[in-house]
Structure formats: structure tokens, C-alpha cells
Amino acid sequence: MASVSSPLNCSVTFSNNRYLLGRFSKIAQLHGHPWLENPILSIALIAVGFVLLFISLYMMKREPKHGYNLERKIAGHKILDTSNRWMVFSAFIGLVAIGAHYLAEYALHIYDITPVDRITHGISGMAVAAAILNANLTRGRRVYYPTAIGVSWAAFIIWEVYELLSVMFDPNTNIETGPWDLGIDLWIDTLGALAICFIYDEFNEQDQ
């Protein structure tokens, strides 16, 4: 027996969809608040990041024999197992990643599927991998590199799903996406994360 939907059910369904659309549209607006269009914030983040880069290099030169000298425990479990100079370097690459993204998309309005977008994706992959390498993952440090790259992939997928939903729910969005674009961005993201692993060797493994 075929079911017949009443006008009331249709109205409720439409109302729910409109509610969800409105809720996601507010979230999607995080991709471009007007105050982010001021380039001063982006430039300041990048400038502070490069100051931290010079500090990390100075620390590396001054303390060449201090390996993993920074540990933090929570409830008896070691959470961080890293060096102070790598923490500073991680902050550098993180600030540059955020600043470059803000500057490209919000201040200069250079959106997806451009060479500049490839650069910001690569830096973002580097930032995620650098942050993960500070954590105490396992005693076998060879596991760190695949894990760091895997987490950068996970962050990439989450971001791309967000952009895909933005395109679906907000017809006025400036976000662009496509299969070829996704493949290129993932490849560059992977190269960025892999590059961070080699840089990590230069900062810490020489001390072992």
C-alpha cells in the first residue's frame, strides 16, 4: 500500500532542511569573516612565525647536544616527548600556515584551485605533521613519521569535507573543489608532511 505524505509532513521536512541549511551556513561563514580581510593580522602572524624560526635555529646552534629535553605528563602518562627548539619551530610553521591561508583567501581573495592554494595546503600539511611530532606516540620513533603523515591526511580530509559541504549548502560560496584538485592538494600535503619529517631529523635525531 503506497504511503501518502500530508502537507503537514512536507512542511515539517522543509522546515527542518531550512533549519539545517541555516545552521551550516553560519558555520560556513567561518571561511570568510570580514575582519579577516585586513592583511595586518596575516602579516603579523607570519612575521611572528619567522621570529620564532630564528629563535629555534639559535637554540639549535646553542644547545647542539640537548636532544629530547622537554617532557610533560598528565595523570602519570607522558604526553609530550620533544625538544624545546622543536616546539618553537612547530609554532613557527603553524603561525605561517595560518597567516598564509588568511592572507591568500581573505585579504587577497585568491581562492581554491590556484597555485597559491597549493602552497597553503603544503604549509598546512607541514604544520600538522610538526605538531604531531611533539607528542609521545610510542617508544619506537620510526612510527612517528607515518603517524604524522597520516594525521595530516586526516586533517586534509576533514577540511575537504567541510569545503564540500560548504559548496552544497551555500550556493554563494567562493569555495571551489573537484577530484583533480583534491588529488593535487593531497599530494602536496603529503610532500609537506614528509619534508617536516626530514627537518625533524636535523633538529633532533643528531642528538641521539
> Per-residue pLDDT tens for 129-141?
999 988 887 666 6
Is pLDDT of 26 > 50? no
Contacts of 67 (CB under 8 A, 6+ apart): 83, 204, 207, 208
Higher pLDDT, 28 or 63: 63
Instruction: List pLDDT tens digits, range 174-205.
Output: 666 667 777 878 888 888 888 998 888 888 76
Residue 170 near residue 25, CB atoms below 8 Å: yes
Cell 553560519 found at: 26
Instruction: List pLDDT tens digits, range 86-110.
Output: 999 999 999 999 998 888 877 777 7
User: For residue 170, what is its C-alpha cell?
Assistant: 551555500
Largest CA distance in the chain: 81
CA distances from 127 to 169, 176, 185 (A): 29, 23, 15
Q: Give this prediction's pTM.
A: 0.73
Query: Is the dihedral angle over the CA atoms 157, 154, 94, 189 positive or is it negative?
Result: negative
Pairwise CA distance, residues 76 & 11, whole Å: 55
Residue 156 near residue 185, CB atoms below 8 Å: yes
- Residue 67 CB neighbour total at 10 angstroms: 15
User: For residue 87, what is its C-alpha cell?
Assistant: 616546539
